[in-house]
């Protein structure tokens, strides 16, 4: 079977740097972490549905024939991952969604629209300082704090979340042939509808990390890596995940 490929998709306003160190935490896998359009090395590039999904296409397609692929996405990356997976229901060995278990409609969606509209009024740098202060209050320390983005990361926010709000729903998981893991921090508002997503899929388990927030991939790296190692071990053993929830 060979060493599985783990593709890691970062959250909005973040970059591939949020996954720094995961290659060491996942020695049994080939770890790939691209920048999404409008983020990191691709700042200034327009974020569109086509360009975002093409990024996932390239990361997955680079796997040699027969190499299993585990697609992992955090926040925006999680919603993109489920959108891509729904278009390629038989391509993945597993799908792991981190902090992406809230249905992006209703009052929650209105909050993101307000946030996106506020950026040009307040200014991206000032907005970044305010948001990053909140992130540090939520637990970002050391490397996690260093990975927080500056104002340049805000240009793609509106287009990215517009795509999520228009297209990303629990029903995307219904046709998938692979196991799905929903990983959320106990204190993460983005786990609000985890049960809806769990019911939508056929092979879904839910993992809740105690005392973790939406910054789970940055603040609880070992715990998230442990979940990913479990999935890689199941791939190696050819086992299906247990039904139900954990956490």
Helix, strand or coil, per DSSP, at residue 232: helix
- H or E segment at 167? helix 157-167
**pLDDT tens series, the chain, 247 aa:** 579 999 999 998 889 999 999 999 999 999 999 999 999 899 889 999 999 999 999 999 999 989 999 999 999 999 999 999 999 999 999 999 999 999 988 765 665 555 556 566 666 676 567 666 766 766 667 766 666 766 666 778 888 988 999 999 999 999 999 999 999 999 998 999 999 999 999 999 999 999 999 999 999 999 999 999 999 999 887 655 444 444 4
pTM: 0.86
Q: What's 47's domain CATH number? A: 3.40.50.1820
Structural domain containing residue 72 = 5-246
The pairing of beta strand 69-74 with beta strand 180-185: unpaired
Close Cβ partners of 94 (under 8 Å, ≥ 6 residues apart): 70, 71, 178, 179, 180, 181, 231, 234, 235
Of the CA atoms within 13 Å of residue 105, those in its CB half-sphere come to 7
| Burial class, 213, CB count within 10 angstroms (exposed 0-12 / middle 13-18 / buried 19+) | buried
Number of domains in the chain: 1
């Amino acid at each position: 079977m060979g060493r599985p490929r783990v593709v890691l998709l970062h959250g909005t306003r973040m970059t591939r740097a949020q996954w720094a160190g995961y290659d060491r935490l996942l020695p049994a896998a080939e770890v790939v972490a691209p920048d999404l359009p409008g983020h990191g090395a691709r700042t200034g590039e327009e974020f569109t549905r086509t360009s975002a999904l093409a990024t996932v296409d390239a990361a997955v397609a680079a796997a040699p024939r027969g190499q299993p692929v585990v697609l992992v996405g955090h926040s925006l990356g999680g919603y993109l991952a489920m959108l891509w997976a729904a278009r390629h229901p038989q391509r993945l060995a597993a799908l792991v969604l981190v902090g992406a278990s809230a249905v992006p409609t209703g009052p929650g969606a209105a909050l993101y629209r307000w946030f996106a509209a506020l950026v040009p009024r307040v200014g991206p740098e000032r907005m970044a300082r305010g948001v990053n202060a909140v992130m540090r209050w939520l637990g970002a320390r050391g490397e996690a704090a260093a990975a927080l983005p500056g104002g340049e990361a805000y240009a793609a926010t509106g287009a990215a979340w517009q795509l999520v709000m228009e297209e990303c729903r629990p029903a995307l998981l219904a046709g998938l042939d692979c196991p799905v893991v929903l990983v959320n921090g106990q204190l993460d508002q983005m786990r609000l509808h985890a049960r809806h997503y769990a019911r939508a899929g056929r092979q879904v388990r839910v993992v809740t990390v105690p005392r973790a927030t939406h910054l789970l991939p940055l603040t609880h790296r070992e715990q998230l890596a442990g979940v990913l190692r479990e999935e890689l071990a199941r791939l190696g053993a050819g086992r299906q995940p247990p039904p139900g929830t954990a956490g």
